[in-house]
Amino acid sequence: MAKLKSKTKSKPAAKGAGKSSVNLQAKAEGLSKSIMESAQQIWLAGMGAFGRAQEEGTKLFETLVKEGQNLEKHTRKIATGKVDEVRGKVEKNVGQVRERASDTWDRLEKVFEERVQRALNRLGVPSREDLQGLSKRVDQLNAELRKLSAKPAAPAKPKSVKKVAPAKAAKPAAKKAKPAAAPAAPIQDATE
């Protein structure tokens, strides 16, 4: 049915085909011009957008670079502050650890010295103080010996010498005296 109508319509169109073909052609040209103008306007709008994006893009890029630099400066300040703060805390902790280690080492050294001293005392080894006391006593005795050795030369002459009985009698007594001779008495400490 749709075909019949189109056939019937096309017959009357053939009668007025001259007018409508001019009309159609004018409409097509107008439509074509309109499409061309729209395409030209779209093209020009695109070119304008590209140019503006290029200009503003450069400005935008420079603005973003400036903001990035400001952000970096700010971040560095914060980071430097934090690093200094952390460094201070670490140095403080290291100082405390050094003090503790030094105190511990001093205590350990003292304990070691005390134990060594006790062991030496058990073995009968004299202490530093004992040796210093003995050294002073030896110095005193040496001084006294020097004094005495300088004086005996003058008083020795006035002493009288005893005459001994004849030689025969003295010899047996001398023989007996040799075995009976005792060793010299030890020097007594003045501190006793």
Per-residue tokens: 39: 């395409």
Q: DSSP 3-state assignment of 102?
A: helix
For residues 141 and 187, the answer to whether their CB atoms sit within 8 Å is yes
Q: Is the pLDDT of residue 2 over 60?
A: no
CA end-to-end distance (rounded Å), the chain: 156
CA 118 centroid distance within chain: 40
Tell me the C-alpha to C-alpha distance, in Å, between residue 166 and each of 125, 160, 162, 169.
55, 18, 12, 6
CA distance linking residue 56 with residue 63, whole number of Å: 10
**Residue 91: which of 103, 78, 99 has the closest Cα?**
99
pLDDT of residue 128: 85
Q: Is the pLDDT of residue 47 over 80?
A: yes
Radius of gyration in angstroms for the set of CA atoms belonging to the chain, rounded to a whole number: 66
Per-residue tokens: 103: 């105190």
Strands (E), the chain: none
> What are the pLDDT digits (tens) for 123-170?
888 888 889 999 999 999 999 999 998 875 555 555 555 555 555 544
Express as a percent the part of the chain with pLDDT over 90. 15
> What are the pLDDT digits (tens) for 83-129?
888 888 898 999 898 898 888 999 999 999 999 888 888 888 888 88
Q: Is the pLDDT of residue 5 over 60?
A: no
pLDDT of residue 143: 94
Mean pLDDT, all residues of the chain: 76
Per-residue tokens: 178: 């040799």
Per-residue tokens: 74: 């700010």
CA 111 centroid distance within chain: 30
> What are the pLDDT digits (tens) for 23-35?
888 888 888 888 9
Express as a percent the part of the chain with pLDDT over 70. 69
In this structure, how many other beta carbons lie within 10 angstroms of the beta carbon of residue 82? 10
pLDDT of residue 185: 47
Residue written as tokens 């040209």? 29
> What are the pLDDT digits (tens) for 176-188?
444 444 444 445 5
